[in-house]
Structure 1
């Protein structure tokens, strides 16, 4: 069986789609899969069982990226084309079956929207595919010792970025003598590129030396997933890294303000959300609001709220962790 799976440009949405792909692999043993996605998300699928190839879709003018994908897919007769981007592509290819997501935003969590494409309710949870080499790399960077708190201080637009000094204060509270993870180390996660490094730099500069592990731009996505599995807790802005942490099974707290937690909260019983005290609708209602240029809108999320969310999550998970 040959499956073409067309998924998201951004890492977070691509992570959320992995549950659907895992479902297809499990229900069609031996299937060969081609994944089309944005370049930033391509590394997520490097360890996918049954992978034939990943086609990175570089955005081009005049929808040229779609014509490029069509030219690379038209020579195959597909048993199933799954298009989560709601394009016309599936109808322009030879395929025995098609599943195409309807365009436009709808109420409910994004994962439920994705599950509906294949008629799955409840939707299958996101997964990560890793290899022994990824875990060896992660173990070398995060060796056994005190627990590790992962921090994700970056996001794809500035409005979602919590202040660096608040991430530092959060770690100090959680790792302090009276905190939920006393004596913990800290690992700072961010993707490659100057913008990500710039957002992470003030956090790294203020964290305690000797207890800080700098993972900014140093790992592939499968290595990041393996490293996240070694963390006792992850706290980060609404981002792809947040979804990857949740998919890895790490206790995850997502920080939300001007983005919809109802649609994009981290998924699973091991997750929690801390929100700004000013509602999203009010944050984005300003006449001069523009997600491309507006600065951080996370100011009404105090450190104590994030600490409380993290501490409550760890306390809720403690009985299961002790078994």
Structure 2
């Protein structure tokens, strides 16, 4: 390319995408990357995101810069973000968190979340409305070779030992928000029931979670015995996504990993207690929910969800998506 070509070549649109802070919300909003590429082709995308969710974007198309913004007391993270981006003249700023900081960022166009976008429908539809997109911005993960290699390094040695290889059901017994975690002893009881069920003969039970999730996962892992695979705290969130993508089925609390599983295309069952399953249920065609109260607008403690109810829902998940395999 000659200097004349460089001088006359159109500049690339610069897009700042402020992602949600939590993992689950980041997955729900992940379709924004695809929409940016559609509305502003060849955009140079910068994502501001929490450290936990940052790996989601390292292989996303068009994303060239990632700014890690972890929450701080008294909103200190917003000041850091403003200092990091104020020197750039942005073409577009997309803020899923509705911060006042976005209005101080120099940009031609702003899309800023507001509660006015909430219409009582699933959160993916709220994100779609924010971007004025013509169709639903379904979640999408960009699982790279590094994540697959990280997952294989943990899973493959465990498949080679114990009871050997077999189909995998991933279990996520952890949710970090109050009231969302089904009791750990019931996860163990669920594993015991599946071990005794002919449908799951030869299956392996893979426990997934973050670095601090060993205690809630321990009872189910112990119940699995030599059929267990431990993927708790074994890699970043994209490695966990790669691990879950290797599973035939997934059962988990209403959590970030539940949304990861659905976005990865793994048939997913989400367990719900006192949260809105109709708004935050796993998104996708291969998803189901089981709730302690199945009446929309009503709630019950997740402890009201029995082992028999979750087992029955797991059997339905199996019969729908794995029974013919």
- Fold match by TM threshold 0.5: yes
Partner of 1:243: 259
Instruction: Verify the 8 A CA contact 1:192 1:216 in the aligned structure 2.
Output: yes
Contact 2:174/2:181 (<8 A) preserved: yes
Does the aligned pair in 1 maintain the 2:187–2:219 contact within 8 Å?
no
**Residue of 132, 135, 158 corresponding to 2:145:** 132
Instruction: Find the aligned partners of 1:310 and 1:120 in 2 and give their Cα distance.
Output: 35
Choose the corresponding residue for 2:310, options 296, 306, 312.
306
Instruction: Report what 1:113 is aligned to.
Output: 126
After TM superposition, give the deviation of residue 222 of structure 1 in Å.
1.3
The structure with the largest alpha-carbon Rg is: 2
Match for residue 267 of structure 1 among 265, 279, 283: 283
Structure 1 pair 177/281, CA: closer, same or farther in 2 (3 Å)? closer
Measured after TM superposition, the shift of residue 29 of structure 1 is: 3.6
Q: CA deviation at 1:97?
A: 1.6
Among 204, 210, 223, the residue aligned to 1:191: 210
Deviation at 1:175, TM superposition (A): 4.1
TM-score norm. by structure 2 comes to 0.86
The 1:161–1:95 alpha-carbon spacing in structure 2 relative to 1, beyond 3 Å, is same
Deviations 1:16-50 (A, max 9, x none): 11012222134434222111122322222222222
1:315 aligns with 2:319: yes
Tell me if the contact between 1:6 and 1:37 (Cα under 8 Å) persists in the aligned partners.
yes
What pairs up with 1:1-323 in 2 under 5 angstroms? Answer: 1-103=13-115, 106-120=119-133, 122-143=135-156, 145-179=165-199, 181-193=200-212, 196-204=213-221, 206-277=222-293, 297-318=301-322
What runs of 5+ residues in structure 1 fail to find an aligned partner?
285-296
How many Å separate the matches in 1 of 2:70 and 2:312?
41
Is the Cα contact below 8 Å between 1:258 and 1:280 reproduced in 2? no
**2:10 alignment counterpart:** none
Cα 1:81/1:64, change in 2 over 3 Å: same
Q: Given the superposition, is the C-alpha separation of residues 278 and 246 from structure 1 closer, same or farther in structure 2, using an over 3 Å criterion?
A: closer
1:23/1:52 Cα in 2 relative to 1: closer, same or farther (>3 Å)?
same
> What secondary structure sits across from 1:215 in the alignment?
strand
- Is the 8 Å Cα contact of residues 191 and 220 (structure 2) preserved in structure 1? no
Runs of 4+ in structure 1 off by over 6 angstroms are 278-282
Q: Are the equivalent residues in 2 in contact too, given 1:111–1:123 (CA < 8 A)?
A: yes
Q: Structure 1 residue 245: deviation in Å? A: 0.7
CA offsets 1:35-89 (integer angstroms, 9 cap, x no match) = 1122322222222222222222222333222121111111111111101111223
Instruction: Map Cα deviations across residues 175-221 of structure 1 (whole Å, 9 max, x no partner).
Output: 43433x3221011111123xx222222332x3232211111111111
Partner Cα separation in structure 2 for residue 237 and residue 154 of structure 1:
6
User: Is contact 1:197-1:216 (8 Å) kept?
Assistant: yes
TM-score (norm 1): 0.87
Helix, strand or coil: the match of 1:79? strand
Distance 2:136 2:296 in 1: 26
> Aligned pairs, how many?
305
Query: Gaps spanning 5+ residues in structure 2: where?
Result: 1-12, 160-164
Cα RMSD, aligned residues only: 2.2
| Contact persistence 2:262–2:268 (CA under 8 A) | yes
Deviation, 1:318, is 4.8
1:266-316 CA deviation, whole Å, 9 max, x = no partner?
Answer: 0001000010148686657xxxxxxxxxxxx32211122222222223323
